[in-house]
Amino acid sequence: MHSGGGGSGVEVKRVFIGAGCNRIVNNVSWGASGFVSFGANNSVAIFSPKSAQILTTLPGHKAVVNCTHWLPSTKFFFKAKQLEQHYLLSGDADGTIILWELSLVDGKWRQVLRLPQSHKKGVTCISGIIVSQTEALFASASSDGSVCLWELVFPLRSGGECKVSCLDSLSVGSKSMVALSLAELPGNSEQIVIAMGGLDNKIHLYCGGRIGKLVHACELKGHTDWIRSLDFSLPISINGEANNIFLVSSSQDKGIRIWKMALCGSMSNGHGTYRKEQISLSSYIEGPVLLAGSSSYQISLESLLIGHEDWVYSVMWQPPLKSVKEDGYYQPQSILSSSMDKTMMIWQPENTSGVWMNVVTVGELSHCALGFYGGHWSPNGDSILAHGYGGSFHLWKNVGNDNWLPQKVPSGHFSSVTDIAWARSSDYIMSVSYDQTSRIYAPWKVEASLKDGEFWHEVARPQIHGHDINCMTVVPGKGNHRFVSGADEKVARVFEAPLSFLRTLDNATLKKSCSDDNVLTDVQILGANMSALGLSQKPIYVQAVRETPEKNGIDGLDTLETIPDAVPTVFTEPPIEDQLAWHTLWPESHKLYGHGNELFSLCCDHKGELVASSCKAQSATVAEVWLWQVGSWKAVGRLQSHSLTVTQMEFSHDDNYLLTVSRDRQFSIFTITRTDAGEVSYSLLARQEGHKRIIWSCSWNPHGHEFATGSRDKIVKIWAVEKGSSVRQLMTLPQFASSVTALSWSGVCDRRNDGLLAIGMENGQIELWRLSYNRADDGSIAAPGVASALVVRIDPFICHAATVNRIAWRKNEEDKTSMQLASCGADNCVRVFDVTVSN
């Protein structure tokens, strides 16, 4: 657990981070440290494949992270045994490259430096090699047509400073490079070769000394579309001499080519002693001769691998393995390729003929996965990782005899996460996003007796939609689990949990209390199917599954309109991406029609009887807040007060008041009264201009009629409803460093006069403030009013790197000193923190 700092008796720790991978080639890197790095919007996320948990996110980039690269990467695992610090490079869409340092001893990260800005546009690729224990070389390419070669000198001792210098900078013209690979030339380690490829369909080879300028050596032609990936092997021993290195290249022409570079002579005496190898079937096309310093290398096309049916986005040699006979390492002849055809393949030469063959194929059969952007080997070569179009990871492990089985990986949204809420039982959290999905995360308990036997995972994806989802609310109260979501459409949609989810939740929590037996018997819906347009989700009934009729010939025709049926499944372990994307949908039970524009905000009262909704608005009539009765789902009220979009709403703890805040800089309080007959009446109690800019957020004190508002003017104000008739401002907190975008107020240790206010900001920071107040006998706040104090600022390495969109405290009935806080933000992340309060 990563600590998030503490003070004034409050400590914050990371519990969970959920995030999807940026859908960009070269975004992922697997390091010799065993950790995987990837870009999650403008942050760099680090996850451990062993625990399938994201450990930290590195803040620092202002733009989307395009590529990451470990030094040492898995290729140099054999050189990394003595290293106490590992380094990571990340490049973004603005052309910025940042160097990070990981201390293996304590797992601490730090930002070492920003490289001098040498790229004017986005960085497309970073690739590097470890030259010695103290030196690395790496190259970076950008869409502005430049390629830079850098030298990185590691500090000799812990805590020392790294030195980075730019050795050379090339301009390749308008057709930029998107793939790079570096290697030391065999037989002449003073010379390095850089292969680069991109939009002109050729592979360009440059040579140079460690400190000299790069010289264009030759071009390799053959591919008929963009070059997408390049990777040099380490020297491969042929006839006892390791004088050959291989370069593998992949392209959008669906082909993979293996090029052999063989040391063919030394030019030191002015006459090349050119030793020509016997031409065999495996090296059937001779290419150019590459001259580097005093050596020359014959390049030939070793093999052409045809097998993928779509663009091949990445190819990679298997990392070196420990030699059995001697105390060294050797380069396995094994290549991993990944493609947009949704498969990854492992290629190896056949023992007898030496012809390269596809020996392993793994992939996703889900119709909703659109293919893989990259594939990576683990350091010891027993696992392979792909990242795909849906921001998802896919991991397979060889459990023996080339039997590759899927493994658990982190998952999350691949676009801004707009809203989050705890389930009424607090057993899970639900989030919605601009990536058009809603997701459920829950701690999956391994064994009741283990204290640390619980890791959070995504356990369901209730809604996969055709519009960006802006808001959601969970419906509390008795009966089945329900939620309402609002997307970029005029309709709010109501969903109910199917039987398969209720049983999966029982398995995750190791208890039967999540779902009453009454509920389980009442629920006749097993799961849901996606519609052809991806808008409504149709129920699959328990009865219908039992009586599955045989499909006649006409029904079996595969047309564009049909989508394969979902198979609702009760999971006994956390589901993987293929299952989440298809078999965990919830059925839609109602649509709520009424608003004139796209839905923007939703909330439900604490009894689970009323849902309030608002939409994007630029006039008073459109800015109405609608009230819906849970159950009948009829509209029972239209509350007029604001003239622009209502940005957030919340019911008071006793459900007597509804607080709304708006873009028009005003907040309104409505009194809500219910008759015994179930009818609802409402009236506007107060409307007031609360801030000088848009009010983004609001939150009620859970123990009283005080509330907080937060605004773009960087200010949080505390207000109180006095004697049910007027509103009085109690205090203003000191101005914050950034716009206040999210608020959530919680009680502390069941003390009515003590509260913790979580404040989320546009810069990604979250602060916890303690609010103490004196109450008179009638419950109102007596003089001197409210005292406030900042108790903790959450550590940036576990906090958001972009706007915090929503924060929510978990309702904790058991332990009042240990609380949990969930948050979501524009950095694509959902986060859960443990907050410990000492009395």
Going from the first residue of the chain to its last (839 residues), give the mean pLDDT of each consecutive group of 10, the final group possibly shorter.
59 93 94 94 94 93 95 87 88 94 90 88 93 89 91 80 89 89 86 91 89 86 93 79 88 93 61 43 65 85 91 94 74 93 92 90 70 92 91 91 90 95 91 94 71 79 91 90 94 92 87 55 71 68 55 40 67 87 88 94 93 94 94 92 95 93 95 84 92 95 91 94 85 94 85 84 94 72 74 92 95 71 95 86
On the CB side of 835, how many CA atoms lie within 13 Å of its CA? 33
Q: Residue 423 domain-assigned?
A: yes
Per-residue pLDDT, 556: 40
For residues 81 and 136, the answer to whether their CB atoms sit within 8 Å is no
For residues 645 and 662, the answer to whether their CB atoms sit within 8 Å is yes
What value, to the nearest 5°, has the Cα angle with vertex 257 and ends 254 and 259? 165
Task: Report the candidate in 287, 305, 282 with the shortest Cα–Cα distance to residue 297.
Answer: 287
Q: Residue 232 domain-assigned?
A: no
Together in a domain, 391 and 481: no
3-class DSSP state for residue 581? helix
For residues 103 and 88, the answer to whether their CB atoms sit within 8 Å is no
Per-residue pLDDT, 837: 83
Per-residue pLDDT, 451: 47
Nearest 10 degrees: Cα torsion 559, 562, 568, 574: 80
Count other C-beta atoms under 10 Å from residue 834's C-beta. 17
Q: Where among 366, 382, 410 does a domain terminate?
A: 410
The helices-and-strands tally (H runs, E runs) of the chain is 4, 63
Whether residue 539 is preceded by a cis peptide bond, meaning omega within 30 degrees of 0, is no
For residues 11 and 756, the answer to whether their CB atoms sit within 8 Å is no
Together in a domain, 390 and 480: no
Rg (Cα) of the chain, in Å, rounded? 30
What is the token pair recorded at 833?
């923190």
Together in a domain, 477 and 496: yes
Per-residue pLDDT, 697: 96
Q: Residue 380 domain-assigned?
A: yes
Q: Residue 75 domain-assigned?
A: no
For residues 755 and 741, the answer to whether their CB atoms sit within 8 Å is no
Would you report the helix, strand and coil content of the chain in percent, each value rounded to 5?
5, 55, 45
Q: Where among 644, 665, 689 does a domain terminate?
A: 689
What gap in Å lies between CA 616 and CA 366, rounded to an integer? 35
Task: Report the candidate in 53, 102, 45 with the shortest Cα–Cα distance to residue 829.
Answer: 45
What gap in Å lies between CA 809 and CA 706, rounded to an integer? 17
Residue 94 backbone phi and psi in degrees, to 5:
-95, -5
For residues 387 and 344, the answer to whether their CB atoms sit within 8 Å is no
Alpha helices in 444-601 (DSSP H): 499-509, 517-522, 542-546, 577-583
Task: Report the candidate in 736, 715, 749 with the shortest Cα–Cα distance to residue 835.
Answer: 749
Those residues with Cβ within 8 angstroms of residue 367's Cβ, 6 or more apart along the chain or in another chain: 563, 564, 582
Task: Report the candidate in 838, 837, 835 with the shortest Cα–Cα distance to residue 4.
Answer: 835
What gap in Å lies between CA 432 and CA 689, rounded to an integer? 30
Task: Report the candidate in 115, 15, 17 with the shortest Cα–Cα distance to residue 69.
Answer: 115
Per-residue pLDDT, 815: 54
Strand 163-171 to 285-292 pairing: unpaired
What is the token pair recorded at 13?
């720790």
Residues in the chain, total: 839
Together in a domain, 531 and 653: yes
Together in a domain, 459 and 344: no
The whole domain housing 474 covers 417-544+564-689
Q: Residue 170 domain-assigned?
A: no
For residues 809 and 759, the answer to whether their CB atoms sit within 8 Å is no
Together in a domain, 627 and 586: yes
For residues 96 and 117, the answer to whether their CB atoms sit within 8 Å is yes
Together in a domain, 329 and 474: no
On the CB side of 537, how many CA atoms lie within 13 Å of its CA? 28
What gap in Å lies between CA 346 and CA 706, rounded to an integer? 62
Task: Report the candidate in 291, 305, 226, 296 with the shortest Cα–Cα distance to residue 259.
Answer: 305
Give the containing element (helix H, strand E) for 30: strand 29-30
- 8-state DSSP, 790: E
What gap in Å lies between CA 501 and CA 503, rounded to an integer? 5
Task: Report the candidate in 132, 266, 108 with the shortest Cα–Cα distance to residue 186.
Answer: 266
Q: Residue 652 domain-assigned?
A: yes
Together in a domain, 533 and 435: yes
Residue 461, classified by CB atoms within 10 Å of its CB into exposed (0-12), middle (13-18) or buried (19+), is buried
Together in a domain, 482 and 623: yes
The pTM for the full model equals 0.91
Together in a domain, 574 and 682: yes
Task: Report the candidate in 457, 751, 747, 684 with the shortest Cα–Cα distance to residue 580.
Answer: 457
What gap in Å lies between CA 47 and CA 51, rounded to an integer? 8
Nearest 10 degrees: Cα torsion 247, 252, 255, 258: 0
Termini Cα distance of the chain: 22
Amino acid letter, 805: N
Q: Residue 578 domain-assigned?
A: yes
Those residues with Cβ within 8 angstroms of residue 423's Cβ, 6 or more apart along the chain or in another chain: 429, 430, 474, 481
For residues 262 and 295, the answer to whether their CB atoms sit within 8 Å is no
Per-residue pLDDT, 444: 87
Q: Identify each DSSP E strand in 690-737 by its residue range.
A: 695-700, 706-711, 716-722, 726-732
What gap in Å lies between CA 763 and CA 804, rounded to an integer? 8
What gap in Å lies between CA 697 and CA 713, rounded to an integer? 12
> Which residue in this structure is represented by tokens 């059995």?
324
Together in a domain, 502 and 400: no
> For the chain, what is the domain count?
2
pLDDT in tens, 649-687: 999 999 999 999 999 999 999 999 988 777 889 999 999
What gap in Å lies between CA 570 and CA 573, rounded to an integer? 9
What gap in Å lies between CA 691 and CA 740, rounded to an integer? 12
What gap in Å lies between CA 821 and CA 832, rounded to an integer? 6
Together in a domain, 333 and 443: no
Q: Where among 689, 724, 748 does a domain terminate?
A: 689
Residue 78 backbone phi and psi in degrees, to 5:
-70, -20
Q: Residue 402 domain-assigned?
A: yes
Residue 735, classified by CB atoms within 10 Å of its CB into exposed (0-12), middle (13-18) or buried (19+), is exposed
On the CB side of 128, how many CA atoms lie within 13 Å of its CA? 31
Those residues with Cβ within 8 angstroms of residue 569's Cβ, 6 or more apart along the chain or in another chain: 500, 504, 575, 579, 583, 584
